[in-house]
């Protein structure tokens, strides 16, 4: 039996990080995909993950796993498709090494991505964001960390992986224009200015503990990086507290990406050009940024207000003369 354990070890240690030189974010995403899939297969087969082989995975198991992600873990279609990419990548790596499994591998590769219709962009108004931040208790260090972390995410429009990767060296708070530098998709760096209020908040947070330049900016209690799940759980807890004070927030699914959307919508409402917003968010294409144009009806209203509408007087309906109608038909 061709076991999955050595396949995954070679894929992650030799191929993905070595030959492909994949980014830490890609490695982390694919690792989590297979951690979840192996746990799912172990539950389905009743066998420990380390004993599973290629014969234990086929297109039916993969489809069941993807449905499990949506229905039981509450994952989005985008996350489902991302997990499928991680599975297909390992299968493509193993295909030339296991020709006897090519039929199964090809069927897994034939699984299509799920279409993700454009839904409403979830974001917070300035007032709603303030309610969320005010709901975070600051009598503990973790509370002060969370408040600073979420405020920065909403101001800088950070992706969750960009947030996690921030180090003390990512900040420059002594410059005439305080800013942070983060590494986004494709390992592309971008520099984002900070408001004076955000810079002051960060200085206060940093001065509380003796921090070294290479330290994680928003660490867990042991000094390591927070996991995406840890951030989601902390944010969910604060969102629930905020919803108790502002019930309308209970109808909004507040995630780290919601705060990223909030940054974009704040700029759009201020009349900032979509091309500038794309640069701010690190979008490769302005087409990605256009989703915010569709989300903000005030943009369309301002466009309508600038146009001159035809002044057409209201009329009344007058039936056409039957004789004239007959003549027209000849």
Active-site residue numbers? Answer: 159, 185, 257, 260, 283, 292
**Cα 205 to the chain's mean position, in Å?**
26
Identify whether the C-beta of residue 135 lies closer than 8 Å to the C-beta of residue 245: yes
Tell me the helix, strand and coil percentages in the chain, rounded to 5: 65, 5, 30
Query: What Cα–Cα distance (Å) separates residue 319 from each residue in 212, 313, 322, 325, 327?
Result: 85, 19, 9, 10, 15
Q: Which two structure tokens, joined as six digits, stand for 319?
A: 């039936």
Q: SS3 of 119, please? A: coil
Q: How far apart are CA 239 and CA 236, in angstroms?
A: 5
Pairing of strands 179-183, 189-193: antiparallel
Q: How far apart are CA 266 and CA 157, in angstroms?
A: 10
What are the residues facing 53 on neighbouring strands? Answer: 3
Provide the residue count of the chain: 330
Q: Which two structure tokens, joined as six digits, stand for 268?
A: 């759009």
Q: SS3 of 193, please? A: strand
Residue 151: name the closest of 204, 188, 214, 225 by CA.
Answer: 204
């Amino acid at each position: 039996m061709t076991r999955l354990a050595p396949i995954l070890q070679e894929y992650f240690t030799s191929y993905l990080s070595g030959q492909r030189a994949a980014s830490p974010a890609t490695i982390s995403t694919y690792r989590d995909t297979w951690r979840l899939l192996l746990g799912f297969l172990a539950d389905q087969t009743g066998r420990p993950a380390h004993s599973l082989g290629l014969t234990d995975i086929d297109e039916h198991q993969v489809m069941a796993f993807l449905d499990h992600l949506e229905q039981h873990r509450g994952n989005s279609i985008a996350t489902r498709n991302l997990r499928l990419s991680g599975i297909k990548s390992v299968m493509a790596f193993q295909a030339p090494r296991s020709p006897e499994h090519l039929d199964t591998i090809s069927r897994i590769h034939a699984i299509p991505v799920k279409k993700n219709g454009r839904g409403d962009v979830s974001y917070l108004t300035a007032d709603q964001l303030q309610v969320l931040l005010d709901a975070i208790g600051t009598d503990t260090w973790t509370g002060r960390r969370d408040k600073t972390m979420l405020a920065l995410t909403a101001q800088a429009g950070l992706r969750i992986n960009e947030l996690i990767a921030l180090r003390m060296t990512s900040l420059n708070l002594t410059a005439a224009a305080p800013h942070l530098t983060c590494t986004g998709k494709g390992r592309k760096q971008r520099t984002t200015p900070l408001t004076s209020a955000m810079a002051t908040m960060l200085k206060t947070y940093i001065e509380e503990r003796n921090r070294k330049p290479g330290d994680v900016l928003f660490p867990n209690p042991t000094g390591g990086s927070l996991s995406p799940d840890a951030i989601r759980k902390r944010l969910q807890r604060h969102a629930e507290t905020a919803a108790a004070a502002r019930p309308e927030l209970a109808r909004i699914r507040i995630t780290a990406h919601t705060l990223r959307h909030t940054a974009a919508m704040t700029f759009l409402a201020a009349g900032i050009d979509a091309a500038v917003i794309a640069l701010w968010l690190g979008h490769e294409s302005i087409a990605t940024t256009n989703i915010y144009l569709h989300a903000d009806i005030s943009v369309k209203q301002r466009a309508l207000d600038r146009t001159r509408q035809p002044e057409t007087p209201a009329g009344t309906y007058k039936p056409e003369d039957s004789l004239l109608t007959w003549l027209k038909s000849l």
